[in-house]
Structure 1
Amino acid sequence: MADFSTTTISDALYKLCPAADTGGYLPDLKLFAGSHCLSGPVFPVQFEYKWSNPAPMAEHFVDACPPGSVLLLCPPSDATNACFGGLLASSAKTKSIAGVVANGRVRDLEELESSGMSIFAKGTSVCGQSPFLVPVKAGEPVQIEHENGHTMSVKPGDQLFADRNGVIIVDSARLNEIVEVGVKSEETDELCRKALLEGAGVKETFAKYRGKPKL
């Protein structure tokens, strides 16, 4: 799977599940530190606003995250403060956490960059986490409101893949199926690419190799 692009994984997932509402895609995430290539099992963390008086966790989410996992940080969608910063990056690096995907904002960019970790987020903020947000659960399923109006369910252990194209999360139980479909898809794409470079038309090429009829 590490050799597949996120686009190949997305195409394979849709072929296996055409009715997928979100396709496993987390939109609008950008790389702020480290390598574009990131993969690993997800460790979700849910945040709530401090003024709603939620019960805080007994253990910090960075301490609870298993080595080799990807921290998936899920603050409220309208939060303008960061949910991850430089000190947490230092700890996460020491604990061999694979990377961080914040479906929100981060801060302390120089420290994030010096950590060497791959860190994706929607944006940045000067404001920290603790005055605004409280982590209320970690290592449990989370629901993420997708921009298309549907809800994306993410479980601990689901597999996250990220590259220059974006970030996708898939059910770990479907990995073998995705690999099988992905291999065939890449073989087909290579045949299409060769034909197109030789001057063949798009419609005829897709009809021949992808089974799509001429329009």
Structure 2
Amino acid sequence: MASLNEQLSTLVENYTACDVSDALLKLQKVPEGSAPRAGYLADLTPFSPQVGRNDTARKVAAPATTFKFLPKSASPPSIATENPEKHGFPPGKHWVDYAGDFAAEDPSKAGSIIVIEQPGDQYCAVTGGIMATRMKVLGIKAAVVGGRVRDLRELQATELPIWARATSTVGTGAEAKAGVRNVPISIGGVTVDAGDIVFCDPMEGVVVIPRDLLGPVLELMPKLISMDDQAKEAVEQGMTVTDAFKKFR
């Protein structure tokens, strides 16, 4: 059986985020009446090592380390106060100093991608140049921010892949604070739990694979790609899309 590192190498070397979502549409069950998200973290853009979707930056995949930010005046959830060493932020240490803890304890040794949930009505940044530098020092592979970042020149200087919804010139302390870590968070309606596999594809976007579905996703994707390749070839030869889908899908 392939190790997690071998599976992640197969993922980034052979597939796109679209391939992953196609597989998750087949594999994931969603509540009745809900729209399937297929792991896609919507409306995120690369801001480092360069701004915007591109086909030159490298793909990266690793287990998630999760952080949930709160309004500055909000009280942290009970899980953070009852177990601060695992889920909270004891006094005297910045939130980003915990960024490497999950990866250090993960027996797979596959590294980590930081995933941050920020309240949608905030306009401050929750990640900037100093935080990105610290992540780089801790060996973090990428950062995915469901919110805002700043200090773009400094972010890019780290060469750390960083995705976010938008930017700001305002520091975190204006209206936000880190509230809890290593718990399920939500980005664009997709739940991300610590240890889930985050796949950053600089051209297509960011998708999250529940860790227990990584094997099935890798097994299914070649079959789906082969079907699509046959359909595309048939369309190139004059077949209608409807007929191609009926025959090959």
TM-score by length of 1: 0.88
The residue number in structure 1 matching 2:192 is 154
2:221 aligned partner, one-letter code: G
Which residue is equivalent to 1:40?
Answer: 62
Q: Secondary structure at the match of 1:26?
A: coil
Instruction: Give matches, 1:1-215, under 5 Å.
Output: 1-2=11-12, 3-17=14-28, 19=30, 21-34=36-49, 35=57, 37-54=59-76, 57-58=89-90, 59-66=93-100, 67=103, 68-144=111-187, 146=189, 152-163=190-201, 164-210=203-249
- d(CA) in 1 for partners of 2:188, 2:22: 22
Letter in 2 for 1:158: D
- Taking the aligned partners of 1:61 and 1:177, their CA distance within structure 2 comes to 34
- Name the structure with the higher helix share: 2
Larger strand proportion, structure 1 or 2?
Answer: 1
Task: Give the superposed CA RMSD.
Answer: 1.8
Deviation of 1:12 after TM superposition, in Å, equals: 0.5
Residues 31 and 119, structure 1, Cα contact 8 Å, conserved in 2: yes
d(CA) in 1 for partners of 2:188 and 2:143? 19
3-state SS of the aligned residue for 2:122? coil
User: Structure 1 residue 101: deviation in Å?
Assistant: 0.4
> Gaps (5+ residues) in structure 1?
147-151, 211-215
Once residues 204 and 242 of structure 2 are traced to their aligned partners in structure 1, the CA distance between those partners, rounded to angstroms, is 25
- Deviation sequence 1:13-55 (CA, Å, 0-9, x none): 1111253643222110001112362311100101111122547
AA aligned opposite 2:96:
V
Structure 1 residue 144: Cα displacement: 4.4
Give structure 2 stretches of 5+ with no counterpart.
Answer: 1-10, 50-56, 82-87, 104-110
Partner SS, residue 105 of structure 1 = strand
Check conservation: 2:41, 2:187, Cα contact below 8 A. no
Greater CA drift, 96-105 or 195-204: 195-204
Task: Give the letter aligned to residue 245 of structure 2.
Answer: F
Describe the SS at the equivalent of 2:171.
coil
How far apart, CA to CA, are the structure 1 residues paired with 2:155 and 2:125?
Answer: 13
Could you report, residue by residue, the CA deviation over 1:33-89 in whole angstroms, capped at 9, with x for unpaired residues? 123623111001011111225477124332222352111011111111000000111
Shift >3 Å, 4+ stretches = 18-21, 53-56
